[in-house]
Structure formats: structure tokens, C-alpha cells
Amino acid sequence: MPHTPHRLEVRNARIGYGSKTILTDLNFQIPHGARVAVVGPNGAGKSTLFKALVGLLPLQAGQILIHGEALGAHQDCVAYIPQREAVDWRFPVTVQDVVMMGRYGQSGWLSRPSKQDREIVARSLQQMELTNLAAQPIGQLSGGQQQRVFLARAIAQQPHILLMDEPFTGVDVTTQTATLNLLDQLHDRQVTMLISTHDLNLAASRFDLVLLLNHRLIAYGTPKQVFAREHLLQAFGRSLLVMEDGALLVDDCCPPDAGEAQ
């Protein structure tokens, strides 16, 4: 197979928890450096997909390949920022400790951080405007600050592929702006990004490609291709609202698959 840098491929994947399948028959390829919005109703499988892509959840069937090699063959090239609700913020670590975790794939968990590691962490903290909070316990930070700490950790990791699960949910305007600015910078560096979001208008305006899920792949392509009415109805059903100005909204009070795990 010809070498294609950092391409992400999912082939005939079935993903779930134990014997319960959440996603089935997934086939798609993410080109190097693309910005991909992952969208779908609550419980559609977005978080499940991310956990499989980072190796936290084994596949029930199929393959995940990074430039032609099985997931795990490339050390620490995929960075993952989970939803804030999935993190135990009581864990007794400082902001700097968390950001330094982004370097462990390079140096190893038991190795002392090198001068280069410390310099990269310092730059990452500075980039996310966290230098003055470096010694603070992460549990004492606001939600927006905690999100920026995880962004700094991802920067320090220097990944080829970045996965972010709902980074725009429940954060302040400052953190939203910082996140979008970081995505632009990483795009300039040709980092491949998959970002899950409920904001369909943001997905349409700021991303190259959209992956639309509801327990299977409904559509994948440019926003114009994916946000066709028939695709949206398949994914969201009656919870989709189309406003007069063309804006897309999702009414989460009555998602078609409410109550199922992501």
C-alpha cells in the first residue's frame, strides 16, 4: 500500500460495549490535514467512535488504520480530549502535571521530563494563557479553564490526529474562541482533526468535511453534501428544526434515540 501520511481509515467497523453494538458498518477515510465535524443526535455513537479511534474501546469487527498500519503502531500520534463530564476533576494533579502528560508518549511514564519536554509544556501553557495557573490543582479551575488545560496537553503531545468530543458545550466565549483559534493553527500545521459538535451551523461554516452518524454512517462529505434534507431527516428525524434564515437547530428534548449511550 502506498504511504499516505497520517491518513485515517475505518474499514467495516462495528463498535460497542461487550455484546451491545452501538455503531455498525462504518467505512470512511479521513485525508491528511482535514477538519472533520462529527455530528448526530444524542446517543448516536459519537463518543463511542472516538474511544475506538484512540484505542480505548476494542472493535467488535473491522479495522482502524493510520497511514496503512493498525491502530497502535504509531506511538502517541492520536490526541484525545474527552467531554468534560467524562473526567474525574477530583484527581490531585496540577495544571502543569496534566499538560506534561502530553509528553509521556515521547519520554515514557517513568522517565524524568527532559529540558525539551519542559520547554514544550511551557510553550503550550503560554499558548493557552495558562502560565499563571500552572501550579493550581485542576479541580479548582473553572470549566473553561479545564478545557484549555486539555487543549494545552494536546498541543504538548504534538499529535498527527486530534479528536475532540464536544469541546464547545458548556464553556465560555473565551474558551470557544481559544478553541477555534487553536483549530485554525493546527490546520495550518496539517494536523487531522475530528471534532464532535451539536452545532450544525458551526460544522457547516468551519469544517472541511462532515461525518453524520446515527448508529451507522448516514452521510460523509462536504457540509453541502451532508446537510441535504434527506440525510438530516434520517439522522435527526422530528428533532431537526430548519429556521427561516437557513440555520439548522436540533431540539434535544425529543431525540429519536434518547437514553442510549454514546
How many CB atoms are located within 10 Å of the residue 153 CB? Answer: 24
Closest CA to 46 of 239, 238, 235, 253: 235
Whether 36 has a pLDDT exceeding 70, the answer reads: yes
Question: What's 102's DSSP letter?
Answer: G
Report the largest interatomic distance among the alpha carbons of the chain, rounded to a whole angstrom: 58
Predicted pLDDT of residue 131: 95
pLDDT-derived band at 247 (thresholds 50, 70, 90) equals low
- Residue 137's Cβ-count burial label (10 Å; 0-12, 13-18, 19+) is middle
Average pLDDT of the chain is 85
Predicted pLDDT of residue 254: 45
Whether 260 has a pLDDT exceeding 50, the answer reads: no
Whether 262 has a pLDDT exceeding 60, the answer reads: no
Domains of the chain in sequence order:
1-74+160-262 (3.40.50.300), 89-158 (no CATH)
> In the numeric block, which cell numbers belong to residue 166?
464536544
Q: Which of the given ranges, 43-47, 63-67, 75-79, 104-108, has the highest pLDDT on average? A: 43-47
Strand extents, DSSP E, the chain:
8-17, 20-30, 35-39, 59-66, 69-70, 78-81, 161-165, 192-196, 209-213, 217-221, 240-242, 248-250
Q: Which residue would you say has higher pLDDT here, 1 or 193?
A: 193
Mean pLDDT for the stretch of residues 19-47: 95
Mean pLDDT for the stretch of residues 80-99: 85
Closest CA to 248 of 210, 215, 220, 216: 210
Whether 256 has a pLDDT exceeding 50, the answer reads: no
Per-residue pLDDT reduced to its tens digit, 93-133: 999 999 999 888 766 556 788 899 999 999 999 999 999 99
Phi/psi of residue 249, nearest 5 degrees = -130, 150
Per-residue pLDDT reduced to its tens digit, 221-237: 999 999 998 999 899 88
Mean pLDDT for the stretch of residues 73-81: 79
Per-residue pLDDT reduced to its tens digit, 169-199: 878 888 888 889 889 999 999 999 999 998 9
